Amino acid sequence: MIRLTDISFGYPNADFRLQFDELSFDTGTKTAIIGPSGFGKTTLLNLISGIYLPQLGKITIDEKNLNSLSESERRSFRLLNIGFVFQDFKLLDYLTSMDNILLPYRINKVLKLNNEARKQAAKMASMLHIENKLSKYPQKLSQGERQRVAICRALIHDPSIILADEPTGNLDPENREIIMKILFEYVNHKGSTLVTVTHDHELLPEFDRIVDFKKIYKNS
């Protein structure tokens, strides 16, 4: 379970502050986060992942208190347990698709980059129909292909938690349907927890739960 309690977070030299009493996500569930822009939905994902820590409040994942971990410990925890699907993909232009998929193995010593990891990357690429794109660089890929590479990278290490920030925001309807089908099938098969920020209300019936951020947001 993911639980955030009595959260208060603000950026330096900015008026924005994210505050709410409690929010939790049960293991194995699919949750959509909706609400107006500027309310901190992306910030919420960054808090869950341990990229940010709140100034006040507590974040626990499966009883592990993220507040008590050092920055390097949070980074290792994130790389082992969390797959992050970014709206703007965050692929590295100087790496091929294969190397972008395997990036978690290159930046975390806990994950071992070996032939098995490479085979898994190729298998996932085949499942997402980009097996013929693995030698290409991001600038040579379409938007949908880039997002598929990004999803392979997010799932390559079998994360127990998937955080997706507008994963279909840059995609056409056909690719949107493909991408969400892939994510839902993975979650259902692995029993992972999915938290997705989305403005696409057509997707909402596919989720177990919908959280309207403006209903929990405390603006004070």
Note the pLDDT tens digit of each residue in 7-47. 999 998 888 889 999 999 999 999 999 998 888 999 999 99
Note the pLDDT tens digit of each residue in 131-155. 999 999 999 999 889 999 999 999 9
pTM for this entry: 0.91
* 3 state SS for the chain: CEEEEEEEEECCCCCCEEEEEEEEECCCCEEEEECCCCCCHHHHHHHHCCCCCCCEEEEEECCEEHHHCCHHHHHHHHHHHEEEECCCCCCCCCCCHHHHHCHHHHHCCCCCCCHHHHHHHHHHHHHCCCHHHCCCCHHHCCHHHHHHHHHHHHHCCCCCEEEEECCCCCCCHHHHHHHHHHHHHHHHHHCCEEEEECCCHHHHHHCCEEEEHHHHCCCC
Given CATH 3.90.1210.10, say whether it is the number of domain 2-216. no
The domain segmentation of the chain, as residue ranges, is: 2-216
